[in-house]
Structure 1
Amino acid sequence: MASKVKIEIEGDYIDSFVYSGILFLVNSDLTLKAYSWDYIFNHSLEGLGVFQKLQLQNYSKGAVSISDELSGTYSISDKSLTKFELCSKELDVWPSDINIYKNRFYVASERGVDAFDFDWGKGKVSKFTRSTRIYDEVSFKLATSSYHRLAIAAGKSGLLSVIPEKKYARREHVRQLIDVPCSDCHWHNNNLVADTVSGQFTASYRSIPNKIDFDGTDKEYWELVKTIKNTSPEIRKREVINGDNIVSSWFSGKGLFSMTESLKLYWNKIESPTEYELIETNSELSTLKYFKAQSSPFGTVMEIGDDLKLFTGDGQNQVIAEEVVNWRLFPKSSYYLSHLHVIEDDVLSVSLFDMPPISSKFGYSKSEVSSD
């Protein structure tokens, strides 16, 4: 499945994130800038009719499909982009990862993890607040969850969890979950998975009930939330599958993919951690060098050596980019599930895909999207 629509945004970027109608871009000069994604998208469609623009706007939110006549590549220059800038912030460090939860921006880097908010004024982001240091050592990846919980893949310091009492996390809220060097982590609902030098670790947390379903007072509810948040998760370690070392793991809806050292891909239901299914990849996995993967409803994207490949449920796969600087999916977003961000030299490409009506071996249905 090829993307039907691609928006090319000219500029020298190292990372990107889209959230609540705002496109966040980190430039090569280590400046974070916020833009109106809707204005950028509409500007790139100049020359189209009102109805055509409306169709593409709905398509960008995964709501409808579009005709082949509207398929294509649309672009916006870096000069035009400046018109839609809302605010900026100097990061002064190369981010190893960025993430957002409830209007709170997190940056992982060689210095640790910083957090700051962005304020809304008149329906748009008006400014970034001052940064707060949460953690002070090298950090590689971030994973967010409900109630402002955060996981940090902190290299030699292992896998860390950050469980603040309310919104604002501080150093004293950081605790070590796993003391094995950790390079990556993902959080889906009540489940956390981490890649370490000793294989795969999963952490399963108690479910926090929705407030609307709770039969009690507000005080009793928030006391329960506090108790559950402070309850240690059940941690499982898995080094091998069928004698083959696990080197990478990631969620796909309610399932979990595991890549082994011999380039075999397995899938299991989260609730059935020992019942693995071998997934056929048609020998398209050739190296673990620079390996990174993430899944979406439209398929699974894997960075394999110099190639960025998309694997889809119809058994097809294709190289969608080469020698990328960075890339990102948005598996927790209701509006941006169909988006793939790929940063190459001097351009960010935002590819939009059809949303399949049913799940597949490389994708999942909308009903399986994390509720975090």
Structure 2
Amino acid sequence: MTSALLPTYARAPLAFERGEGAWLVAESGERYLDFGAGIAVNALGHAHPHLVEALTSQAQKLWHTSNLFQIPEGERLGQRLVDASFADVAFFCNSGAEANEAAIKIARKYHAAAGQPERYRIVTFEGAFHGRTLATLAAGGQQKYIEGFGPKVDGFDQVPFGDHEALLAAIGPETAALMIEPIQGEGGIRSVPPQCLRGLRALCDERGLLLIMDEVQTGVGRTGQLFAHEWAGMAPDILSAAKGIGGGFPLGVCLATREAARGMTAGSHGTTFGGNPLAMAVGNAVLDVVLAEGFLDHVQRIGLVLKQRLAGLKDRYPDIFEDVRGAGLLIGLKLRVPNTDFVAAARAEHLLLIPAGDNVARLLPPLIVTEAEVGAAIERLEAAASRFASGMRRAAE
């Protein structure tokens, strides 16, 4: 049957009807261990009771008023994020791409307000992914996403990942900011070393640039800190977050220092649905859990267990696995076999993974995952790897 949906997704032939914690149940009744979490979105798993209660309670009261009026739960969520981070102000939206659009506008407007409107260009890094709008596609710079959509939005200069000399050469009198993911998610779980993040901070201070941190995938506890840049002991001027902050409900936020956001006056930016009462209720419920004492310690501990177990798997199957990357519960398996084939093999073992660039399979379990569930995932990965190894031996005979 022909689908009425625009064919922009290569969907797996699988549909789910319910979920609980780290598990999804298909229409057939089969249970799948979800180590994709909706691409790092379902930070607290499926049907978390605190999130369900918060959404249900708010839905019975008020859904939408628009930003023409005050939204108390938004004020509360913004203050909690500010109190827990480097930031002074927050702007709520609906997605990571929107959060990055806000970050780009804030950086450009900062220099315009300072009397330097010519400083509008932003240096980004090859392999990055910042969203699917025309501007965020240009920021990411990946040709496979840009091709066919007309002229690339001006104002972005990509440099090779980890190339300090190219970075220095790209900075000129029109440069407004640097924009980087502390760990590239779509780009293959490639981490920026802490000393490099500190170096970028120093470089921005020296050149009068703003530093934008894209933490859409790494933020809200995913690496074992509220935000991944905290591991480096530094702070950006502007930060985008989404995915996990809504625990499955559409929510994004752009955080900034008051100085960086000084050009953003009334009417300079806006959104119809961003910061709506439903999203704000869920966002506050997510923070209730993530900021609770011991929760981030749990993420760090379980992340270490997962990484150690994956290292053992790599050693047992060196023809399948090349490397284990990442931090906390943002882990990448660099593969020697096609990652899409391996993700399909894992799915056949009822384990859900997410492919990424650089031939990587991502493991993004909900942050509430247990050690027993990590063990179950390793067993299923081993079964998938064993199937691959057997096939490779037969092909060699």
Instruction: Assess same fold via TM > 0.5.
Output: no
Higher relative contact order (CA 8 A, sep 6+): 2
Give the TM-score, by structure 1 length: 0.29
Q: Please, what TM-score do these two structures have when normalized by structure 2?
A: 0.28
Specify which structure has the higher proportion of strand.
1
- Greater helix percent: which structure? 2
